[in-house]
Amino acid sequence: MISGFEPGRLRLTLHVDDDGSADLFATATSNGFSGHGSAWVNICEIQDFAARIAKYPLDADVEIAGGFYSESVPEKLSQTHLSLRVYLLDGRGQIGVHVNLADPHHADDRIDAIKSVDLEVLTTYNRIERFSREILGLIDGRTNEALLEEELL
């Protein structure tokens, strides 16, 4: 954390639809940078993401992403509007969460007008496990938000 800035954080909220999908909203801050965005994601993908980030030890990067899918390759995103990637940084247990948030853009949009942010929130196994439980609570309505606050080892 750079001196003078509040600790980083990632806040998720969810609007669950009855078709098995949900609009996942994220607000993230780190070292003075911040952004917010959203994307529609399959609820099963959110549940899988939450379960996988809670594993100890993390043996591989865990990612969830949403946006616009390619017309030519339907299972591939052509635009990513929200992406979260969780990864182990070192043997002490420091975990990184890379957050990418971007505006949807269309053919007539100016490239320079598209807003985006990439940042990293550092955390630990205890906090990521609590965040995982809160994400699952969003799905079943037990909680209104999932909050991950930065913690440095």
pLDDT (tens place) for every residue of the chain, 153 residues total = 456 788 999 999 999 999 999 999 999 999 999 999 999 999 999 999 999 999 999 989 999 999 988 889 888 988 899 999 999 999 999 999 999 999 998 888 898 888 999 999 999 999 999 999 999 999 999 999 999 999 999
Strand partners, 30: 33
**What is the residue whose two structure tokens read 């949403």?**
66
The answer for 131, left when phi > 0, alpha when psi is -120 to 50, beta otherwise, is: alpha
Strand partners, 13: 25
What pLDDT is stored for residue 2 in this prediction? 52
Residue from 27, 34, 19, 56 nearest 132 by CA:
56
What pLDDT is stored for residue 3 in this prediction? 60
User: Is the Cβ–Cβ distance between 85 and 97 less than 8 Å?
Assistant: yes
Alpha-carbon span 106 to 58, nearest angstrom:
37
Centroid of chain to Cα 96: 11
Query: Under CATH, what is the fold of the domain 9-149?
Result: Transcriptional Co-activator pc4; Chain A (2.30.31)
- What letter represents residue 53's amino acid? I
Alpha-carbon span 24 to 65, nearest angstrom:
10
Alpha-carbon span 82 to 28, nearest angstrom:
11
Alpha-carbon span 100 to 61, nearest angstrom:
15
Alpha-carbon span 118 to 104, nearest angstrom:
15
* Domain boundaries, given as residue ranges, for the chain: 9-149
CA 40, 78, 84, 147 torsion-angle sign: negative
Alpha-carbon span 53 to 99, nearest angstrom:
14
User: Is the Cβ–Cβ distance between 65 and 83 less than 8 Å?
Assistant: yes
